[in-house]
Chain A
Amino acid sequence: MSPMQTLTQRLANPTRFMAFSGAILPWMAVASALLIAYAMYLVFFVAPPDYQQGETVKIMYIHVPSAWLALGGYAIIALSSFGLLVFRHPLADVSAKAAAPIGAAFTLAALITGALWGKPMWGTYWVWDARLTSMLMLFFLYLGLIALRSSLEDEALASKLTAVLALVGVSILPIIKFSVDWWNTLHQPSTGFTSSVDASMRTPLLISAAGFLLLFIALHLKAMQNEIMRRRVKAMRVAEVERGDRLMSAGAE
């Protein structure tokens, strides 16, 4: 192993990746659980209710991190797809494939918590507001990625075509966002880290976000491990069948 190799290059070896991810995964999982538990404690026992929204503001501590990770998941898929198509990085496809259902799940979580929050605030579960609609479109893009991959039998082809679709999606996502914003805006604008969110709420939000981020990483690493294992099992099975075929033909002669 030359010292010039970058981390991504060194992890390109699946065996090394398995060892590395296996070592950090338990720590990630435990840290994630602790952070989320601490954030939930702060949310329910320490953070004040909002002066306008009352106790419903507690939904925010799950809604906002989910929405961030929904976008982050797509970013991971886009980066991995780029890595697959341009650098042919062997783990890039595993990463893209593993991230799709997780990202879709966080998108769905953001949509559902948004709907539950919308009922007391806007009086209805679903409004066609710009940010909700953008999230829904993101969810559709996730579904498209998963559906395209599952409808192709040739796995190598499926990986590359899905990567093309992911890159198309990431290039058109800003245009969709822009057009939907143009179309309708009702949602409160994102406050993010700005000072308009009081520290008593911002701290639990950031801790919750950190916990969810670690959760995402842990799930992603685990899903990547599973995918690598699945491919190994498949390769072994194919080798076994071929060996059987050879024995059969040898016996027939």
Chain B
Amino acid sequence: MSGFLALLRRDLMLAVREGSALGTALGFYLMVVAMLPLGLGPDLKLLSRIAPGVLWIALLLAALLSLPRMFEADHEDGSLEVMATAPLPLELAVAAKALAHWISTGIPLALMAPILGLMLNLELALTPALVATMLAGTPAVSFLGSIGAALTLKARRGGLLLALLVLPLYVPTLIFGISTIGFASVGQDGFAASLLVLMAVSVASIAVAPVAAAAALRLQVS
């Protein structure tokens, strides 16, 4: 377990000290959300109606942007090979890196969503539900993303390919994220059930993704 925590700490520290990756993701998030009204027109009623969907999809795109970096730097400087041969199972190492990605990218993006919600005239009463779904759903984004990042490590046009591979995997997360907000907005009692299913999707991703990503990495470092 100490190896897991050490790796998590190292990745978080790298994320903080590099800084630029998070800034880029947040800036991209802001930019996509700001471009949308320019394309759709400034009708506040329309924007308010589509705000949850826009915020969720832009969040997925922003997270996608930062995924290729998950293993790239470690692959280039050889630390990935050290991790593959270390006593800590590679599955746990991948889990630590995905968790670090969630903490350093997923949580900040989720916390930025309410501010962008203001720009889209999202009802204030929905903001807690929005943040709750994003905090519950972004682990799936990071963990499923780790599979894509591992598979495209050596691929040509890796970033583009990553989007093609990973976006279909995000469908359940997106659907349950939006439907949970939908239940909150009409005040139905399906809210809790929908949020629980969203969490279940995240938990399932946490269980499956490290195994798949580690298998993909092992094929490439040995």
Binding site for B on A (CB under 8 A): 85, 137, 140-141, 143-144, 147-148, 151-154, 157, 160-161, 164-165, 167-168, 171-172, 175-176, 178-180, 182-183
Contact = CB atoms under 8 A, between A and B. Distances in A.
B165 A157 contact: no
A176 B175 CA distance: 9
Most buried by A among B165, B201, B204: B165
A176 B168 contact: yes
Contact of B165 (A165, A171, A178): A165
B175 A141 contact: no
A179 B205 CA distance: 15
B125 interface: no
B168 A164 contact: no
**SS class, residues of chain A in contact with chain B:** helix
7 contacts: A85-B215, A137-B168, A137-B171, A148-B155, A160-B219, A168-B169, A183-B179
Interface in B33-86: none
A161 B151 contact: yes
A179 B175 contact: yes
A140 B164 CA distance: 8
Contacts of A180: 171, 175
Nearest to B200: A175
Nearest to B174: A179
Nearest to A160: B219
Interface of B: 144, 147, 151-152, 154-158, 161, 164-165, 167-169, 171-172, 175-176, 179, 201, 204, 208, 212, 215-216, 219-220
A157 B219 contact: yes
A149 to B, nearest CB: 10
Contact of A182 (B144, B152, B164, B175): B175
* Interface pairs A-B: 4 shortest CB-CB: A179-B172, A151-B155, A140-B168, A179-B175
User: Taking each of B147, B175, B179, which has the highest tally of chain A beta carbons within 10 Å of its own beta carbon?
Assistant: B175
Contact of B212 (A157, A164, A183): A164
Contact of A148 (B165, B215, B220): B165
